[in-house]
Chains A and B, each alone.
Chain A
């Protein structure tokens, strides 16, 4: 594991993108940052620009207008970057699966590394997903070595 990957594991910075979410998942993200769950102990912090972020956190069912925009955001993310799909909507569109405006699930638009199911997922589920993401990064970097 080189220095860059070690630094990455210590402080994953997260950019949150809402693609037509109902705001319930977004509230749970804020919940994660409160002292009760305290996700900053993993070095995570929400940042305001994708160019500063290592993780793209997507909530909401991807609408037709959002598809080109989320592709553009994914292209702007500095690599190595990871995508976390959060909530039933971005996993499989949930109750909007037959909607005229939601033709594709998120993982057919951009590659997704970690799925966090739930409507909305509890903060504990999100922390579990993030720990899995850290383990995945560790495993891939050691495998490369």
Chain B
């Protein structure tokens, strides 16, 4: 199978779920999908097409947020990315951890640094931030402000 054949299969099968397709290069394809369709598209790619879940990334692009799920087809050297735009007023998305364990830690990290909540995540504890970090402060958001009064931000010279 070539990347274009996979893309054609996906666009035929999920015609009503796909918002847009962006081919950055023949081996690097971005597909924007609807939020409700995440689990069924991803599970088809993961289980039927045999892709490997590489990682997920969350981006704050000022007027909205994005979740990107990267899937690798190792045999044909292609990477497919599923992009979901999230409105800042409703940062909620379905969790993929019930289906494969690889999504567990990246979803926990995304929750604490960007404040995106994952529905049905079985074990939503803190992963990387320290215990005394205040609730509701998300360090990788664009509007993050310094909260620690004791922090020193000059070099002392």
Contacts and interface: CB of A to CB of B under 8 A. Distances in A.
A85 to B, nearest CB: 13
B155 A92 contact: yes
B148 A103 contact: yes
A44 interface: no
A65 B134 CA distance: 14
Interface in A74-105: 92, 97-98, 100-101, 103-105
A105 B152 contact: yes
A64 interface: yes
A144 interface: no
A108 interface: yes
Interface in B141-155: 144, 146, 148, 150-155
Contact of A97 (B139, B150, B155): B155
Contacts of A101: 139
Contacts, number: 25
Interface residues of B, number: 15
A98 B153 contact: yes
Nearest to A100: B139
Interface residues of A, number: 11
Given A103-B148, A104-B151, A64 B130 contact: yes
Contacts of A105: 152, 156
A107 to B, nearest CB: 9
A74 B125 CA distance: 30
Nearest to B147: A100
Contacts of A92: 155-156
Q: Enumerate the 9 nearest inter-chain pairs by beta-carbon distance, A residue then B residue, closest first.
A: A103-B151, A100-B139, A64-B130, A92-B155, A65-B130, A103-B148, A104-B152, A98-B153, A97-B153
Given A103-B148, A108-B152, 14 more contacts: A64-B130, A64-B132, A64-B133, A65-B130, A92-B155, A92-B156, A97-B153, A100-B139, A100-B146, A101-B139, A104-B150, A104-B151, A105-B152, A105-B156
Interface of B: 129-130, 132-133, 139, 144, 146, 148, 150-156
Interface of A: 64-65, 92, 97-98, 100-101, 103-105, 108
